[in-house]
Structure 1
Amino acid sequence: MKTPTSKYKESVKELFESLGGYNNIEYFTHCMTRMRFHLKDWTIINEEKIKKDNQLMGVSKSIATGEFQVIIGTDVQSFYKDFCKINGFEEDGKNRSHLNAKQTDFLVKQSSEIAAMKKAHRKGGHHLTAFLSFIGKVFSPIVIPMIGYGLLLTIWSLLTVDWNGPKTSLAATSHFFGEFAEILGILTGSFTLFITIVLGYTVFKAMGGNVIYGLIIAIVLTAPGLINMGDVKVPDGESIISVYPGWTLFGKGITYPFKINYNGLIIPIIIVLSVGVLIERSCDRIKNSTAKMIISPIVIIGGGYLFGLFIMAPIGMLFTNYLSIGINWLSTHYVAKYIAMPIVGALYGPLVITGLHHSLTPIILQGQAAYGGTNLQGLITISNITQGVSTIAFVCVHRRIRNLKNVGVSNGISAIIGGITEPSLYTVNLKHLFPLIGCSIGVFSGSLLFVASNTFALQGASSIFGILMFQHIAPLKTGVITWIGGGYLWGTLSILLSISVAFSTTFILGKTKYFWNRSRNILLEDFGEDIEELKKFTKLEWNQKLLIEKNNNLEKKKTLK
């Protein structure tokens, strides 16, 4: 097999060696911008060598998830593939046949992601670490499809929203757009089903189970014979339990179990699938291979289905219902919404650093499934855009550090346009601290206006394009009314308020003595330029200096040609 040639060839080799090689790497994966390593011994890592690599943006140590994270940037997928190919790993963490005997033996015993995940789930005292790692693995594979889904859902929403009273939508006033909205409606409606079913794959994969079993359980629990919770009409004075259709298995008048369809029930389906993996592990203990082959599928699929139907369905129905009600209450209560939700928005940046932001995904999906929209998605959009603006504000404070512009501006734009904040966080905002503080203050302000105006959003893009996810009017089920002007207006104003406050705060904090001196030392170490020395140039002298350097560079290019 030929070794791949790529711009990352040397970097992946050096990173592999710096992390301790096969003897220290238990398993690894990646997210949107980072390689995430689970290592046996962190003390042998050559961190300085990693930081000096120009292809890498830095490192982050997540105690919460037990991960040593290497920040790559938006091209992380290519870097990940090269790391696997050049260092002899399969992309799922399994060993490769061309490895030498020593390497293969190690990988078979220790480096398999499946073995590591099982170990993490069995290990006492590390439940939080295992949970956070599990959440990341479950939702990371569906992030990109969800963005596409969100954009499609936005188009459908624009076609079907009543802009000026009943039956004033494009779909209602135009035959073409009406038919087109119906076509899109099938696509967007099916996507919630896709997310529920694909969780069968990601949950089983994350816990080291057979993904086929996971898919089957998820499909069975979303079968057409079961009824979606949103389709059940509850008369005044009745509870959902008293009217929900079900089987009268234990006699007439006793409705149990309920015919609950798991389509859109994100948290319950994850729990059921997790139980399915535990059942599979129990079946793995069967020693007779013939008996194991016959019994395992019946017990795993049947056990998962019955657990979901008889136990998790009623519990999940109540839990997810009241959880969504709680989030909705926090976001609509005339007092609580001004406190709780802005704090969530302000803390979203730090949550990304710790990896805890993944825990919001099931709540967002559940809220959208239950209420038709969520303001959590809007707060994330505000946070991501503001994160990029804070980075650019930092560049403005230290604009005479020329190499900083290349890093800061590009990473800031990545957050604003792409919604990918890790490059901004790890190269500037977290490193220098005051941009992160300024961002959080700005996001708090913008989130306060967003929530106060009763603006909601659909799951999807979390960048500048997230404006398209804002809903013109609050979903009916939330019980609130969006301020005059609509969600697009107030959502946009919330973003403008957030970035204005963040830019100003970041700029002011950057000029304070403490943060100025702190950043001066960091920039001197990173770029070899002293901002105090550069400040001594007058504006005219500085422009002349830049002109001379530009001419010198042109001369060098001519000489090379």
Structure 2
Amino acid sequence: MGVKEQTVEQIIEAIGGKDNIAAATHCVTRLRFALKSEDKVNKTMLENVDVVKGCFSTNGQFQVVIGQGLVNKVYDELVKITGIESASKEDIKNAAEKNLNPLQRAIKTLGDIFIPILPAIVTAGLLMGINNVLTGKGIFYGDLSVVEVHKQWKDVADIINLIANTSFTFLPGLIGWSAVKKFGGSPLLGIILGLMLVHPALLNAWGYGEAIAKGTVPYWNLFGLKVAKVGYQGQVLPVLASAYVLSNIEAALNKRVPDAFKLLIVAPVTLLITGFLSFIAIGPVTFTIANVITSGFVTIFNKFSLLGGLIFGALYAPLVITGMHHTFLAVDLQLITNIGGTFIWPMVALSNIAQGSASLAMMFVSKDEKVKGLSVTSAISAYLGITEPALFGVNIRFKFPFIAAITGSAIAAMFIAINKVKATSIGIGGLLGFLSIFPKNWGVFFISMVITIVIPFILTIILSKTKKFN
């Protein structure tokens, strides 16, 4: 299928003309623009272009949904017409960052750090889900697990669990690599920093509480200063803060050390200084802060479960619009480390399903064939854990499906919050999300899944009767 020059010119005109484009690139399905002013965009005109399936703005980028395969041809034609140079995704991020306020930049930084390591975490969560099925009691055989009935599967489950736990055991190594890369340092030093914080010679963070109770915490004696010889397995804040310090020390040394001596001085001195600072000050301080934050979330969901579920279930999708949802990934990981599971991620999975259900309902109430097609493909995507097409291409565009979705999500979130449903890990945020839920909570979670399928779907149809749309 070719792309008419006129079609691409319509897109350019709708986004404010070629002079409004600071930079442009594309991903698998979308054009990504860093625009000088999003106020100049005519969304109505843009969404009426034949090849456009939707548009939205996020993290300072204006994105136009085109579709797999066709987006490449549209982009090539756009480059030809406008004369702009092809840009990388990193170029677009840097250009778009100029349009963000300090809070948005901070949130974007967290997103840029965690998104690259998300595949490893989600994969680990999916494998832990498989392990849950094999080792969970009462799923298939009364009070027994699959491995207790079929003992030949015990070692298979054990290997799966080892593979799954690797990402969480060495999480600081993953975060160290991504964070130092984001902060402008050497990613290799970030990996070393992260692994240093979970070195086997250190007391495992998961045994720290018990060691304190028994009085067996090991210490270094640095000229009279006692420093706890403790690791930071599964921790997020210690490695994030240490990575920032490391990157700045490395940058300062690179400016001052002659090229001939950089190999011998920059990396060793950077790691040495950061290492001492991490164990003496950064680690203990951020570890305490992380525990306070975790305790705050746990208190809210223990004492005010209904309210906590209502607020999070209703607000998660709006937070996705702002990009602030990335901040909860760090909280999820901290909860998994501190209390052995997270009550936040199950609500994320349900929110995704709710957005998919509202989008699916639009296929039945809309008379526009283009909207019908986009609705069903977006619903499938949301059911598999990717909500952006449904969220930005359909639900927010017509508003009432979005209201229906967050209503269903809030009701389901309240239901699982009062029933103390937790996930063992972060996994696929859609219909397969149950694999990451503790097996004992499956029954409640399945009921909540039905809620997020039925309520948004029916409510979207009801609300459509009072709205005018194509």
Query: After the TM superposition, which residues 118-133 of structure 1 pair with which residues of structure 2 at under 5 Å, given as runs?
Result: 126-133=101-108
Q: 1:83-103: per-residue Cα shift (whole Å, max 9, x none)?
A: 99997547464xxxxxxxxxx
Describe the shift of the 1:281–1:378 C-alpha distance in structure 2 as closer, same or farther (beyond 3 A): same
CA shift for structure 1 position 39: 4.3
Q: 1:524-547: per-residue Cα shift (whole Å, max 9, x none)?
A: xxxxxxxxxxxxxxxxxxxxxxxx
Amino acid across the alignment from 2:118: V
Partners of 1:61 and 1:67 within 8 A in 2: yes
Describe the shift of the 1:228–1:52 C-alpha distance in structure 2 as closer, same or farther (beyond 3 A): farther
Name which of structure 1's ranges 43-52 and 135-144 shifts more when overlaid on structure 2: 43-52
Name which of structure 1's ranges 192-201 and 222-231 shifts more when overlaid on structure 2: 192-201
Describe the shift of the 1:221–1:233 C-alpha distance in structure 2 as closer, same or farther (beyond 3 A): closer
Partners of 1:442 and 1:502 within 8 A in 2: yes
| 1:25 corresponds to 2:22 | yes
2:247 corresponds in structure 1 to 277
Partners of 2:181 and 2:187 within 8 A in 1: yes
CA shift for structure 1 position 387: 0.6
Amino acid across the alignment from 2:60: G
Name which of structure 1's ranges 11-20 and 258-267 shifts more when overlaid on structure 2: 11-20
CA shift for structure 1 position 319: 1.6
Describe the shift of the 1:58–1:409 C-alpha distance in structure 2 as closer, same or farther (beyond 3 A): closer
Name which of structure 1's ranges 12-21 and 313-322 shifts more when overlaid on structure 2: 12-21
Describe the shift of the 1:136–1:71 C-alpha distance in structure 2 as closer, same or farther (beyond 3 A): farther
2:189 corresponds in structure 1 to 213
Q: How many residues align?
A: 463
CA shift for structure 1 position 181: 1.7
1:533 corresponds in structure 2 to none
CA shift for structure 1 position 216: 2.0
Larger Rg belongs to: 1
| 1:68 corresponds to 2:44 | no
Partners of 1:201 and 1:214 within 8 A in 2: yes
1:232 corresponds in structure 2 to 208
Query: After the TM superposition, which residues 287-326 of structure 1 pair with which residues of structure 2 at under 5 Å, given as runs?
Result: 288-326=258-296
| 1:264 corresponds to 2:234 | yes
1:286 corresponds in structure 2 to 256
1:179 corresponds in structure 2 to 155
| 1:370 corresponds to 2:338 | yes
Say which of 424, 437, 459 aligns to 1:505: 459
Amino acid across the alignment from 2:125: G
1:151 corresponds in structure 2 to 126
Partners of 1:446 and 1:495 within 8 A in 2: yes
Amino acid across the alignment from 1:174: H
Separation in 1 of the partners of 2:29 and 2:341? 28
Contiguous gaps of at least 5 residues in structure 2: none
Partners of 1:19 and 1:25 within 8 A in 2: no
1:108 corresponds in structure 2 to none
1:448 corresponds in structure 2 to 414
Identity %: 26
| 1:244 corresponds to 2:210 | no
Amino acid across the alignment from 2:330: P
Describe the shift of the 1:153–1:19 C-alpha distance in structure 2 as closer, same or farther (beyond 3 A): farther
Separation in 2 of the partners of 1:166 and 1:129? 50
Separation in 1 of the partners of 2:63 and 2:170? 30
2:167 corresponds in structure 1 to 191
CA shift for structure 1 position 291: 4.2
Separation in 2 of the partners of 1:76 and 1:137? 27
Say which of 306, 310, 315 aligns to 1:347: 315
CA shift for structure 1 position 19: 7.9
Describe the shift of the 1:59–1:81 C-alpha distance in structure 2 as closer, same or farther (beyond 3 A): closer
Partners of 1:84 and 1:90 within 8 A in 2: no
CA RMSD of aligned residues (A): 3.7
Contiguous gaps of at least 5 residues in structure 1: 1-5, 94-110, 474-486, 524-561
Separation in 1 of the partners of 2:4 and 2:278? 47
TM normalised by structure 1 equals: 0.72
CA shift for structure 1 position 45: 6.4
Describe the shift of the 1:182–1:507 C-alpha distance in structure 2 as closer, same or farther (beyond 3 A): same
Amino acid across the alignment from 1:412: A
Q: 1:314-367: per-residue Cα shift (whole Å, max 9, x none)?
A: 11221222222222222222xx11102321121111111111111111111111
Partners of 1:12 and 1:82 within 8 A in 2: no
Amino acid across the alignment from 1:59: C
Partners of 2:237 and 2:287 within 8 A in 1: no
Partners of 1:33 and 1:422 within 8 A in 2: no
Separation in 1 of the partners of 2:4 and 2:273? 47
Partners of 1:26 and 1:113 within 8 A in 2: no
